Amino acid sequence: MNWDILNSRSYTPYSGKQRSCLIQGKSGKFYAGVRIENVSYPLTISAVQAACSICVSEGDTPSALLLPDTDFDQLEYWKNEFGLEIRVISDISTIEPEDLSKIKSTSEGSDLQDLLSKAVAPNSDFPVSALLYTETGMYEGVNIEFTEWASGLCAERVALAKSIANGDTELTDLAVHTKFGEVSSPCGACRQVILEHLPLNKIRLYHSDNSMSEHFTVDLLPFSFTSGSLRK
Ligand code: THU
């Protein structure tokens, strides 16, 4: 891998400021994270937040953070959260981050149920699972919580962070499941993020009573916030 390729996978239409990083897990595996901006700027996922969340969602524990430079947000927080060793490194040509794409699911409802066990939600005890489909594959997402609540990511956004960091941006549809909710229903922040990446697509929601409902993303966020003047 090299930083130019990884940086180019960032989704930064508002700032143009591409950012990417690699987390090495205790397993030795490397997980890529890229910055994913949103038209509502505070919903932006930072590269380090993405990489840490992805690593934890794979059952691994972040141990080192590899960066092209130190121009990253909240480095101290992430360093302390996991006791990360921070390595500023220009040559990552010997490193290949994990390709986390999966073969498309054929039994979506039961796969989503099984996936709940991978959620890391010590604060809420409320596991959520998501499957995000692209033209070529599928990405699993579970919710990940950290000491700082606001730094965690919902299942939907972990799946999105994996696909974007993998350079797999032809997103087609999304399925979401929660066991304890009366209904499975993405939060408002996820609806905003989902709408930006899957504007004409559908979401399938698998509810706790084993029923499923399918919705256009636009129907889940009517009269949404948008502005052409924000897009560069
Ligand atoms: N959560 C999701 O994963 N997706 C949603 O759409 C709703 C909320 C997670 C985030 C947090 O880990 C827990 O549920 C409680 O908010």
Q: 88: Cβ below 6 Å to ligand 1?
A: no
Q: 154: Cβ below 6 Å to ligand 1?
A: yes
* CB-neighbour burial class of residue 170 (10 A; exposed 0-12, middle 13-18, buried 19+): exposed
Q: 130: Cβ below 6 Å to ligand 1?
A: no
Number of neighbouring beta carbons within 10 Å of residue 87: 12
Q: What is the mean pLDDT of residues 212-221?
A: 97
* Whether the predicted pLDDT of 201 surpasses 70: yes
* CB-neighbour burial class of residue 17 (10 A; exposed 0-12, middle 13-18, buried 19+): exposed
CA nearest ligand 1 atom 16, residue? 124
**Which residue ranges form the domains of the chain, and what is each CATH number?**
3-88 (3.40.140.10), 108-220 (3.40.140.10)
Classified as helix, coil or strand, 151 is helix
Please list the active-site residues: 156
pLDDT tens sequence across 1-53:
999 999 999 999 999 999 999 999 999 999 999 999 999 999 999 999 999 99
Give the total residue count for the chain: 232
pLDDT tens sequence across 145-162:
999 999 999 999 999 999
Q: What percent of the chain has pLDDT over 70?
A: 100
Confidence of residue 230 (pLDDT cuts 50, 70, 90): confident
CA nearest ligand 1 atom 2, residue? 154
Q: Which pLDDT value is given to residue 112?
A: 98
pLDDT tens sequence across 94-143:
999 999 999 998 999 999 999 999 999 999 999 999 999 999 999 999 99
Number of neighbouring beta carbons within 10 Å of residue 107: 9
Q: 183: Cβ below 6 Å to ligand 1?
A: no
Closest ligand 1 atom to 141 CA? 3
User: What is the pTM for the complete model shown?
Assistant: 0.97
Which of 24, 27, 29, 22 has the alpha carbon at shortest distance from 2? Answer: 22
Q: 203: Cβ below 6 Å to ligand 1?
A: no
Closest ligand 1 atom to 185 CA? 6
